Chains A and B, each alone.
Chain A
Amino acid sequence: MTVSADDSLHDSGRPAPTARLFAALRLLRATAAGRIVGLALLVAVLALLSVYPLSMLLYGSLHSTPPGMAGTFNLDGYRDILTRENSITLVNTVGISLAKTVPSLALAVLLAWILARTDTPCRGALEVLVTLPFFIPPILTAMAWGMLGNPQVGLLNQLYQAITGSSAAPINVYSYGGVVWHMMQYSVPFLFLLIVDAFRAMDPSLEEAARMCGASRLRTFRTITLQLMLPALTGGAILSFIRGIENFESPLFFGAPAGIHVITTDIYDSINQRSPPQYQYATAVSFVIMALLFLIVLVQWRLLRGRSFATVSGKGYSPGIVRLGPWRWVTFAVCMLFFIVTVVLPVGQLLIGSFFKFFGFYQWDMLTFEHYEAVFGSSEFWRGFGNTMLLGLIGASATMVLGGLVAYISVRTKWRGRSLIDAMAWLPWMMPGIVLGVGFLWGFALLPRAIPIYGTIWALLLAYISLGTPLSVRVMSSAYAQLSFDIEECSRVHGASWLTTMWRIVIALSWPSFVVGWVLVFFGIMRELSASVLLYSIGSEVLSVVLLKLWVNGNAEQVSVIGLMMMVMVILFRWVQLGFTRRHLGTL
């Protein structure tokens, strides 16, 4: 471990603004008043980002008309929820989300263990490849799976029929199974990304101790490894479960034809397909869901309270690698199978289809580069791309800094009010995106004119930070929970200032998680549509809006070209990120 508590930050070459910032931070840290001011600032920022838009929605749920219109306060929205039909929809929604979260978590743990803790061949490449599905726009994978798994002419069913001679079509993506499967393609890599670094950043001496005491490998995994992963696993599972409740695309594409209704399609219909739009009902449903989800978060807090999950201590270590012998080819095959099924099959369709005039019609006379020419020759695409990159870079960085601060206060201090800011940061994650987008629209439009946010690119930036903060807080909380308090105390005992300790210990050791969180938030921004479409203004179009326009105008092939380009970016980002993580771990 190269981090030394004796090292200090007395670098004379530090530029003046940084020095001023550090001095301000020192002041904030040094006094109780400073701490209160710091906390108040943080509360104010979170209030603007999450409480303010939610308060607009709360008003909407309690008022007969949306903000800005004459009406009366009543509970009609909440009263309308209490129907038998809605109970069935709720059960459906929870059931589908559970059905995808549990196997996703199991699969993600297996993949994370294989790729972080075993000597499986080509782990580096596999780690990039298995996460790719998460970054593909859902609308594209839905289309691809529709072509692969429809019961009439789906390629997989045709393959089955050709091999077996049967006329049966065993695969039907337009079903409960199809909805769950499509969701899993996103939740497995998402959970994998959230937990893999927790596996990597674990001191193997704890597992070795269990093994020395006679525990089997399985028991060690169950009683030591998994237990120590509890913050990361429960945090990830809850995030994934909530996302499952709020998932919209999978039920819309695969559930609607099979008569499967979930809460988000109900909310979507009440806003977009009722006359007039039922905002009171939509917001009321969302708040009920929010309350239910918050109960789950409270359960997690209770579950983890008072327990220590520190695995990164002052002792030097390198992540223990399990030598699998010939079994490593089995684990390699598991990863490859996952990659082939979730990436090669759908993305292969998109890649091949992007070179033909129409998807699914692979004839020589339809071979073309016109979709690539159309995309790369479009000024709107490049404007959207430029805006998205700008918002992604600033937004992801700001979100991770904010999330890091909230997580630090929540996990590593005993300050009063820490639970409040943690809860405030959670809120946007529990509100379905379709509704939250409306909250931002109402909130920003009704701000006083002296605050020039509405109609500018900054409205999008604030919305993205708000939407990404819950994820960044979870990622950083899990990372901080693994850091032993001893190393911080050791640093202070050796004379390092609080800032030095923060910089050289806490930030240095949680840096890999910060980078993973950054990548997740960055690509979350690239894909975000619900808020973007309501907040973008002329000139500030973002990529997701460009994709929507192309899709609505029947240019699915051009959407695929952009989707494929996003995947190339993902591979590049992940390659840099993993290289960074390895170098970083190598120094520990």
Chain B
Amino acid sequence: MMTTLKAALVACLAGLALPAHAQDWQAVVDAAKKEGKVVIYDMALGAPYFLAVLKSFETKYGISVESLDLRASELAERIRTEQSAGRHLGDVEMITTTMIEEQRNNGDFVERLPAIPNAANLRPPFKATDYSVPAYVQPMGILVNTRLVKESEIPTSWNDLTDPRWQGRILSDDVRPLGSGNTMFAILEHQMGGDFNARLAGQKPVFSRDMRNDARRVARGEYAIYVPQIFAFASDLKGLPVKLVVPKEGAPYAEMDLAMLKNAPHPNAARLFIQHFLEADSQLLYANAWMPPVVTGVVERANRDAQPFASARLIGPARLAERPAMMALAKKLYP
């Protein structure tokens, strides 16, 4: 009896010592621990930095994380089907900004996001919306084979890709369907001016659809250049004769956001997870894998080899409303 009274007294004193918002957040943490589990629907497909964040969350809060990994379109359809069937199994989704926008346009799949304290630490250009908060970004650069491209010839601008010397020597992710290729195409259409994509098409880049293998094809010398090279994927190629270039105009990027699914079975754990993902330590795991963090105070802590990429200038993102026009333009330029 005495022990219980003591514990209650300590709790009250602790409560008095904390500001009101901290008390509120402590209530979220307690409720999350009581829920004991959070289910994440994501498209990380077992990426090591993502798994490291999950592990740190489990260690810190003792809440188990279940992650269902799917490719983007499969993830969106699975969420849509489950929600339509009244099966509310997932708590949080981590998916592209445009897909969340699409979900919002097509149905009622995403919950209005409750306050996430760490959202206050977002750095420009990242902003939270009523329904989602940025999680990480996938910037894209130019990958060159250092055995085939002399140091003096390495492109430093997106415009350099239109130099006649690269005609037929560029491998590219297909820019016509939805994906990284089209994201690059759409952002550069705005950034580089009207005729840039037409001039690039004149270089007759060869299209492929397997980004991971394509980078290796460039490393093996099949092609001199690969675009768009996702920064994080290039961080895995250390030791190969390739170099990732961040063009002076900046790197087009795709943004991944965190959102809470409708009727999430573990809403407090979901909220706590989103908060944890925006912690500087979590973001540092991404920065060390060459991805610019979305919160302040992280870039400077990144490993030396990751610094140039974590601090890269970003251009974009692509807008959902422009997609049909951009896909049509790409199809016109690459019949």
Q: Are A454 and B208 in contact (CB under 8 A)?
A: no
Pick the interface stretch among B210-218, B250-258, B263-271. B210-218
B127 within 8 A of A: no
Q: Are A68 and B219 in contact (CB under 8 A)?
A: no
Q: Which of A358, A438, A552 contacts B77 (CB 8 A)?
A: A438
Q: Which of B39, B47, B82, B98 contacts A538 (CB 8 A)?
A: B39
Chain A count of residues within 8 A CB distance of the other chain: 50
Interface string of B82-103 (1 = CB under 8 A from A): 1011010100000000100010
CB proximity to B under 8 Å, residues A539-584 = 539, 548-554, 556
B81 within 8 A of A: yes
Cα A194 to Cα B262 in complex, Å, equals 49
Q: Are B240 and A361 in contact (CB under 8 A)?
A: yes
Q: Are B177 and A455 in contact (CB under 8 A)?
A: no
List of A residues within 8 angstroms of B179 by Cβ: 273
A66 within 8 A of B: yes
CB proximity to A under 8 Å, residues B74-122 = 74, 76-78, 80-82, 84-85, 87, 89, 98, 102, 106-107
A357 within 8 A of B: yes
How many A-B residue pairs have C-beta atoms within 8 angstroms? Tell me: 133
Q: Are B81 and A554 in contact (CB under 8 A)?
A: no
List of B residues within 8 angstroms of A550 by Cβ: 46
Q: Which of A257, A269, A366, A554 contacts B207 (CB 8 A)?
A: A257
Q: Are B73 and A442 in contact (CB under 8 A)?
A: no
List of A residues within 8 angstroms of B8 by Cβ: none
Cα A80 to Cα B106 in complex, Å, equals 22
Pick the interface stretch among B61-69, B129-137, B276-284, B297-305. B61-69
Interface string of A267-298 (1 = CB under 8 A from B): 00101111111000000000000000000000
A311 within 8 A of B: no
Q: Which of B80, B87, B213, B323 contacts A556 (CB 8 A)?
A: B213
CB proximity to B under 8 Å, residues A141-178 = 143, 146-147, 150, 152-153, 174
Cα A356 to Cα B73 in complex, Å, equals 34
| Residue ID in chain B nearest A545 by CB atoms | B69
Q: Are B212 and A556 in contact (CB under 8 A)?
A: yes
Pick the interface stretch among B17-25, B156-164, B187-195, B220-228. B220-228
Q: Are A275 and B98 in contact (CB under 8 A)?
A: yes
Q: Are A442 and B81 in contact (CB under 8 A)?
A: yes
List of A residues within 8 angstroms of B45 by Cβ: 548-549, 552-553
A257-B207, A366-B239 known; A445-B85 Cβ under 8 A: yes
* Chain A residues near B (Cβ < 8 Å): 66-69, 143, 146-147, 150, 152-153, 174, 252-253, 256-257, 269, 271-277, 357-361, 366, 380, 438, 441-442, 445-446, 454-455, 533-534, 537-539, 548-554, 556
27 A-B Cβ contacts within 8 A? A66-B81, A68-B81, A68-B85, A69-B84, A147-B220, A152-B221, A152-B223, A174-B206, A257-B206, A272-B71, A272-B74, A273-B73, A276-B106, A358-B219, A358-B237, A359-B216, A360-B220, A361-B240, A441-B81, A445-B82, A455-B87, A455-B89, A534-B70, A534-B78, A538-B39, A538-B66, A549-B46
